[in-house]
Structure 1
């Protein structure tokens, strides 16, 4: 097999005192519980994952295993009960399953809002929004309202808005789950292209095994609640990949068997 080539490492990637590259995101022995003392529900248990600069990591697991909770912790929307999370540089950008666009704003103005919050001068926002729309292949859509856009187009705008935050780390919480198969397939291609062009580090949450194998350089399987890292796979397949590729299908079968085992073990508890 041909090993996937990493996109160019961002120039801002930091190095430690020993010369080693510092991870773009580090999740170190993180646990998370909800509830009150005496009635706590543990969602995550001692999770450790590093995401290297420019790496695309897919976090895979059954519904309820804590994937989205972990992503929220990395995004800084909540704090772990124990353990640490480090994201050197700017705060991660976050893209949800729902596009979360403001319907009273145009596509371009949704992006410009993110640029304004980042501190981009007013006179520069329009041109930058146009550039980002072109990057996600929506050139000319600046003035379109949200209701005029298809589901796939809305997710492209959401991606452009996330990119407008100018973070080196992009967190994606099942962003294509609500789309039809063909639109999802097209956006897989677009995301892979944008990732390769920008050198972003991506942490992508999904419960779709084939999606994880198609997109990721590494697939991290979470156990059922409480979520733990059950196993990891390095995906040594060249990009671009197709969801129907034989090698993608074969690795997907292997991972699916492991996922089924985790679900069965959870059901016996």
Structure 2
């Protein structure tokens, strides 16, 4: 059985991320597709929020907007953090670089000296329990280990500029979906540990209710396309009851869309 760790509520400060009335439409005219509609969402600094919804509801589109990879069609988006960092389902490591050099890459782009970035990369690999693996290349690592390196690299990018008042922002798009159940369970626990150790702000996309309830302080459910916020839940001690409640609401959303 998976244990859900106790987590404290975030301190309410100026949001790290705030979306107000955000719409996103792709294309124009009769062929236009509205992916998101009237999205209102605020994420506090240091908060862990899961975006939950069925496939195609716009979760990844919302994440891309926050990451700056795309722009809203209308509405306002305010990101008040150090540079956002994105982690995807695939580790996307550069195969010709070692694990350590992969982690160093965003630090190099940020202008950090070679000595500083090597020390920081080693520190982050230790944080994700890959100490001593810096010299290995991706093909020498298991799938779970590659995702740990990807997490270390994402943390390097998100924390390359230090500001105590604006924690880094980590955007995660179903990063454990391609892993086997045991590895996924382990990495979920590791992510919670890393989040607590760093104080980073996390916006995590998933379609897995149990994963959302295990990880998040707050779960935000999106409707089927066009995605809009249906409901939010604060995660407390009774995770099983919450899991059942969210699952029932998700089924309602999917059924009403299919009808």
1:131 aligns with 2:123: yes
Per the TM alignment, residue 61 of structure 1 is displaced from its structure 2 partner at its CA by: 0.1
Of the candidates 250, 256, 259, which is equivalent to residue 265 of structure 1?
A: 256
3-state DSSP class of the match of 2:31? Answer: coil
SS for the counterpart of 1:157 is helix
Unaligned runs of 5+ in 2: 160-167
1:4 aligns with 2:7: yes
* TM-score of the two chains, using structure 1 as the length reference: 0.89
**Residue 161 (1) aligns with residue 115 (2):** no
Q: CA RMSD in A?
A: 1.5
Q: How many residues align?
A: 247
Query: How far apart, in 2, do the equivalents of 1:86 and 1:144 lie?
Result: 39
| Matched position secondary structure for 1:38 | helix
Residue 68 of structure 1 is matched in structure 2 by 60
Mapped partners of 1:22, 1:145: distance in 2: 41
* Residues 132 and 160 in structure 1, CA contact (< 8 A), matched pair in contact too: yes
Matching residue of 1:212 = 212
SS in 2 for 1:124: helix
Aligned residue number for residue 165 of structure 2: none
User: For 2:37, what is the secondary structure of its paired residue?
Assistant: strand
Contact 1:6 1:54 in 2 (8 A): no
Structure 2 residue 256 is matched with structure 1 residue 253: no
Superposition misfits of 4+ residues, deviation over 4 angstroms: none
Per the normalisation by structure 2, the TM-score is 0.92
Structure 1 residue 98: deviation in Å? 0.7
Give the secondary-structure state (helix, strand or coil) at the position aligned to 1:164: helix
Offset of residue 118 of structure 1: 1.5
Q: Please, which runs of 5 or more residues in structure 1 have no aligned partner?
A: 10-19, 238-246
Counterpart for residue 175 of structure 1? 175
2:222 aligns with 222
CA distance in 2, matches of 1:202, 1:264: 30
Whether 1:99 aligns to 2:91 is yes
Distance 1:121 1:188 in 2: 32
Q: CA deviation at 1:144?
A: 0.5
Please name the residue that 1:55 is paired with: 47
**Equivalence for 2:200:** 200
Is 1:84 aligned to 2:76, yes or no?
A: yes
Looking at structure 2, the residues matched to 115 and 3 of structure 1 have their Cα atoms a distance apart, in angstroms, of 33
Instruction: Please give the secondary structure, in 2, of the residue aligned with 1:140.
Output: coil
The equivalent residue for 1:190 is: 190
